[in-house]
Amino acid sequence: MTVLGFWIYLMSDCIVFASLFAAYVTLSGSMSGNPGNAEMFDLPYVAMETGCLLVSSFTYGLAILAMQKGRSDLVMRWLGVTFLLGLTFIAMEVNEFHHMIAEGMGPGENAFLSSFFTLVGTHGAHVTAGLIWMIVLMAQVTQWGLNEVTRTRLMCLSLFWHFLDIIWIGVFTVVYLRGAMG
């Protein structure tokens, strides 16, 4: 039941992202004289971010398989790998934002950039929340082992983590690939 309730929360989160996507697509033409997005996006860099998140989805799956076998040591190992991949993703995203702002393409420049930072930043904030959650869960698995409570929480974080990867498919398709096409 807890997992179903969490799933329904994720569905409401989907609607939040749908609104942000709709706002982004509507405003992506409003650039007020700034360079177009084609020069802005570095696709090989985005491909690496995408790779980090995709591999982390897979390693989280391995943590769930370890959980089903009752191997808390393997759960910890795969959660650790997932955490590092997620952290790499966030570090790369923060670095990207930093470069954009330093080059005068901050969220205050025009409507397109505002909607870009809101959409991609909201996804990044979710991933950051997932990373904090993952640390807490690793501490709890260390403390209590794999019981009913930690198993349920691992399942909920699994849904959350895979969900964020699905949202990222929308982000790299609609924002980066579409943007790079000019």
Partner 1 sequence: MSQASETHEHHGANLRDYVIGFVLAVILTAIPFWLVMSEAAAPSVLLPTILIIGAAQMLVHLKYFLHLLGPDGTWNISSLLLTILIVSIVIGGTLWVMYELNNNMMPWMF
Q: Residues interacting with partner 1, by CB under 8 A?
A: 4, 7-8, 11-12, 14-15, 18-19, 21-23, 25-26, 43-44, 47, 50-51, 54-55, 57-58, 61-62, 64-65, 67-70, 151, 155, 159, 162-163, 165-166, 169-170, 172-174, 177-178, 180-182
d(CA 130, CA 147): 21
Choice between 104 and 145, CB closer to partner 1: 145
- Shortest Cβ distance from residue 74 to partner 1 (Å)? 12
Q: Which residues contact 102 (CB under 8 A, 6 or more apart)?
A: none
d(CA 168, CA 14): 12
How many Å from the N-terminal Cα to the C-terminal Cα in the chain? 46
Choice between 23 and 138, CB closer to partner 1: 23
- Shortest Cβ distance from residue 117 to partner 1 (Å)? 19
In the numeric block, which tokens belong to residue 166? 């699905």
Q: CA separation (Å) from 148 to 137, 151, 152, 155, 159?
A: 13, 5, 6, 11, 17
Choice between 13 and 138, CB closer to partner 1: 13
Kindly report the backbone phi and psi dihedral angles of residue 31, in degrees, each rounded to the nearest multiple of 5, phi listed first: -110, 0
Choice between 19 and 142, CB closer to partner 1: 19
- Shortest Cβ distance from residue 5 to partner 1 (Å)? 10
